[in-house]
Chain A
């Protein structure tokens, strides 16, 4: 880590594992100008994600989203994928590793394989049919239809060398004589993203009956049952008798949060969300009288805004939730019903009759985790996940080896992706200077189509079940084919990698297409990707228009397929009409500033600044208060129980002593202009409000949240009442004789999960358990009550929860409709609450009453920030990210990233991870030497301009001016393209490319064709 630059010779990183975390880390590194070896044990890339048919909270499939987000912009030549490969040795040290890898034979030449499946049919080894996703039993196995590489592989363990497949293969791709290849890779760092495996319920068969009853399935099997690509082709039938299940029960924590043999003591963190998603999805698909019930102990929707999803599932979408302790599953042989016995929250033994039982099984470390850790020389925790500290959340015990995704423990997609970007960022710091990327130099020459008649190609991209289930695809395609100027109308599957985009490029050449319409995705999320594809096809990026069939049609009009189909045709017609009039957009190139501005000097901001300082230009760290540290200054211990102060002090001193970081405390951001690569931000410092401007290429916003100031439970009116943070401060000085620790009552969800703030505070449960254990440590005889609604203790924090119960901390649940009552009795306090099991009120006189309060949005500050940086706030006032699932630390403004509690309540580990991730994302831009400007900017037709000054006055940024020749001039590098001047110009002398008047009118007319 302390190497000098001349020792860092390698520009390559080894990424182990190709699930979403590994893919994200690889793409980030490649975009930052690094060479990546992406090593995968299995025959194809993708990890667990392709097995999920849908992902919450949009119940959309996001794998395409992830890949299309990147395929358009990355230089894929920087990533070398090595499937069927494993790491067998790692010598050397950070910055200078030699990795030895062995690639097993595929017995098949991937470049020749067409994935036709003839080998599968020919193989006599029990391969009757190919069922993607579920059937891994056949020797030739393609795991799912979108696999990359799209090629079969042969399992020699099952092959008897009969040679039938060789004869069957028309493209002569099969070579049974292939042998393993070993090679040495010179890399500077390693990112471990080897993921996890799904828990196998077989060992707990006596409880769940997974092996005994065909209609007991796992959550992943449920996804396959529902999937159009699954074994039943999307027909929703239960396995035993093919009947459509009408009563479905999800059993939460199957094999999780248990000390029974065969199970896992930890919480798998995301199964609650997976089950809710599946239940909602089933209800949406079969809205008739379907009974979807989730049997749970605590619901733990822990991610940003997941609580809102839970509330919607329960209150609006008809999912039933039964709080209980599920016991076991039996079967009534007479009726075929499954019988789930459970103990409800009043302590009563109850039974539910179900047609299908879905086990919400969690995740386990991969089977070879220990072996792999030994090769890497890193430590694992007791469960065989990678051991990481809160302050080093993506670092392993070996310098230069980083980890992300489920290798660190079960977690959701945004968490995995954030860690991946963070790990990529740190992995990059171990390398020699990146290869400069410029973009554009490898593109084909742009065709001049100015004199040509429009030849429009309409592509229906990724019309999966989400769209086709509502919109009649054939009708839209036929209508499109008949629209004026359309020469080609075809479906296109993007799915994985860039094959789909290449198909688009091919079609452009084959049909001499000179205008492209993409019907499906929103232009907001996919516009850039397709603009790049159109450019690669030799057309100007502006020769593209998108019809938003998915988000603004199919997803909204599920109940009215005929109208949705008619609307789809209208949307496509408007896009065709618009694109016919497209004119080439100008591209401007200017130098890209290597400097960065980080706003906010808390843990997230400092982590980002420090990570950037070693890998790019100068970093300006702006903090509005007088000192660095942010909310973490008030924290005594992090959630993993380690003291915060020493780590925080080290981080601050590293930042302050770094020659590439300029710290500006007592400083406010007051204005901001320019574009990614060439931002200019104005700040005011000190009591004299000294103003200066900072030029920078990227921006990271990490301005944090604020602590909720409780109004509840006599806070501020009785000395015994305090917040968890105040308790923490008390504990860091308390002695065992302290009478304030005699009887402690903690109340959870104070200021959260209520009408005013429907969100979950996310970390208050863990803080409560941390402090409860700390109290017990200081004073074992202390009485501690935790009054809670759901204990949300993800992953190994469940161990702390169990330990607290074992040490005598009493956890008592309360209903939101019947919250604890607190009153003053002279100088004493009385807390009255109802015990659910006993069913009667209890009264306690606490010596301390601790309120678990959340971080809430720093509304005023965030609002101002959003105004300055032109961003938006989401629910609860937190900053709205680019995409909650696949771009969690990006913002909609190019070149602006965000980290920490400005996005959502964040733990110290999360703030640190997000800070590193935002830096990692920023580095993908800072690798560029030139800034390419292609946003449409206003253009003045000088012959029409009367120099009336209306544009000068109406521009929100004061950019137009009347030049020496007497007409209005607009600097294309400064114009932001809002179009206000174009709308105001009385002579229609100003037009905004893409939105010219003529084009807007054509779109409107096309959209309304047939209405009159």
Chain B
């Protein structure tokens, strides 16, 4: 295990993942406190710019959490989100930040445990990758 606690921004769909995150809390499940959730009406609202911006602002990882495949509240917003995440991953790989710093997760509203697990596993994965290199750049610049 790495000794740093990554900061992870989760863009969570109101209809599934955001609810699942609430359910996780009510079930008393835990995940690393670096995981911070922003609510969106649909994963399909999450633009590539939001992901890049979060990394630029110092997030170590960004997770987009939408409904299960075939179960999107708005038919296909989750698939659009997944496609955008993939594009951003390729871009990040190219510029040396690491494509795996962004990821997509799918879950339904009742799945508190799935949210907690996704948050925990993604956070661990980021911990293994180490801090967002932009941070070092920012610190050097400062």
Residues of chain A at the chain B interface (Cβ within 8 Å)? 57-60, 284, 312, 522-525, 548, 550-560, 563-564, 566-567, 570-571, 574, 866-867, 870, 872-875, 880, 892, 936, 954, 956-957, 976-980, 982-984, 992, 994-995, 997, 1000-1001, 1003-1005, 1007-1008, 1011-1012
Contacts and interface: CB of A to CB of B under 8 A. Distances in A.
A995 B45 contact: yes
Contacts of A983: 44-47, 80, 84
A548 B54 contact: no
B73 interface: yes
Contacts of A60: 26
Contact of A559 (B30, B54, B110, B135): B30
Contact of A978 (B16, B42, B59): B42
A1008 B54 contact: yes
Given A874-B110, A956-B74, A555 B38 contact: no
17 contacts: A556-B33, A557-B33, A558-B30, A567-B36, A867-B71, A872-B15, A874-B110, A880-B108, A976-B74, A979-B40, A982-B45, A984-B80, A992-B45, A1004-B59, A1007-B9, A1012-B58, A1012-B139
B62 to A, nearest CB: 9
B25 A980 contact: no
A977 B14 CA distance: 12
Contact of B71 (A559, A866, A982): A866
A435 to B, nearest CB: 34
A995 B28 contact: no
A874 B139 CA distance: 46
B41 A1007 contact: no
Contact of B16 (A872, A984, A995): A872
Contacts of B45: 978-980, 982-983, 992, 995
Contact of A1003 (B29, B34, B38, B109): B38
Contacts of A1011: 7, 57-59, 135
A523 to B, nearest CB: 7
Contacts of B24: 551, 556
Contacts of B26: 57-58, 60, 551, 555
B91 to A, nearest CB: 17
A867 B76 CA distance: 11
B109 A997 contact: no
Most chain A beta carbons < 10 A, residue from B38, B49, B138? B38
Given A523-B39, A551-B22, A867-B71, A1004 B31 contact: no
Contacts of A984: 80
Contact of A563 (B9, B25, B33, B58): B33
A1007 B31 contact: no
Contacts of A936: 41
A59 B27 CA distance: 9
A604 B99 CA distance: 51
Chain B interface size, under 10 / 10 to 19 / 20 to 34 / 35 or more = 35 or more
A225 to B, nearest CB: 21
B37 interface: yes
A954 B76 CA distance: 9
B87 to A, nearest CB: 13
Interface in B29-87: 29-31, 33-34, 36-42, 44-47, 49-50, 53-54, 57-59, 71-77, 80, 84
Nearest to A983: B47
Contacts of A563: 5, 33-34
Given A980-B42, A980-B74, A1008 B57 contact: yes
A548 B109 CA distance: 16
Given A556-B30, A956-B77, A870 B36 contact: no
A997 B44 CA distance: 14
Contact of A1001 (B7, B50, B116, B135): B50
A59 B28 contact: yes
Given A880-B109, A979-B42, A980-B80, 14 more contacts: A60-B26, A552-B21, A570-B36, A873-B108, A874-B109, A892-B109, A978-B41, A978-B77, A980-B77, A983-B44, A995-B40, A995-B45, A1007-B38, A1011-B58
Nearest to A546: B39
A1000 B50 contact: yes
Contacts of B27: 58, 312
A284 B29 CA distance: 12
Contacts of B49: 997, 1001
Interface of B: 5, 7, 9, 14-16, 18-19, 21-22, 24-31, 33-34, 36-42, 44-47, 49-50, 53-54, 57-59, 71-77, 80, 84, 108-110, 116, 134-135, 138-139
B34 to A, nearest CB: 8
A548 B37 CA distance: 9
Contacts of A992: 41, 45
B5 to A, nearest CB: 8
Most chain B beta carbons < 10 A, residue from A60, A559, A867? A867
B44 A1005 contact: no
Nearest to A570: B36
A892 B110 CA distance: 12
Contacts of B25: 550-556
Contacts of A976: 74
Contacts of B31: 556
Nearest to A863: B71
Contacts of B38: 574, 1000, 1003-1004, 1007
B9 to A, nearest CB: 6
Contact of A567 (B21, B33, B134): B33
A202 to B, nearest CB: 36
Contact of B75 (A559, A571, A872, A956): A956
A954 B80 contact: yes
B108 A872 contact: yes
Contacts of A558: 28, 30
A1007 B22 contact: no
A15 B42 CA distance: 42
Contact of B57 (A59, A873, A892, A1004): A1004
| Top 3 A-B residue pairs of the complex, sorted by shortest distance between their CB atoms | A979-B45, A555-B25, A563-B33
B44 A978 contact: yes
A566 B33 contact: yes
B52 to A, nearest CB: 10
Contacts of B76: 956
A151 B9 CA distance: 47
A449 to B, nearest CB: 24
A570 B138 CA distance: 20
A979 B43 CA distance: 9
Contacts of B39: 523, 548
Nearest to A985: B47
Most chain A beta carbons < 10 A, residue from B39, B59, B80, B108? B39
A980 to B, nearest CB: 4
B22 A524 contact: yes
Contacts of B138: 1012
A312 B19 CA distance: 21
B46 to A, nearest CB: 7
A199 B117 CA distance: 43
Nearest to A1008: B57
A874 B25 CA distance: 16
Contacts of B34: 563, 567
A284 B28 contact: yes
Most chain A beta carbons < 10 A, residue from B25, B38, B58, B77? B25
Nearest to A1005: B57
Contacts of A559: 30
A936 B40 CA distance: 12
Nearest to B49: A997
Given A892-B109, A1011-B57, A552 B37 contact: yes
B43 to A, nearest CB: 9
Nearest to A60: B26
Given A1004-B9, A1012-B135, A870 B15 contact: yes
Contacts of B36: 567, 570-571, 574, 1007
Nearest to A954: B80
Contacts of B108: 872-873, 880
A591 to B, nearest CB: 26
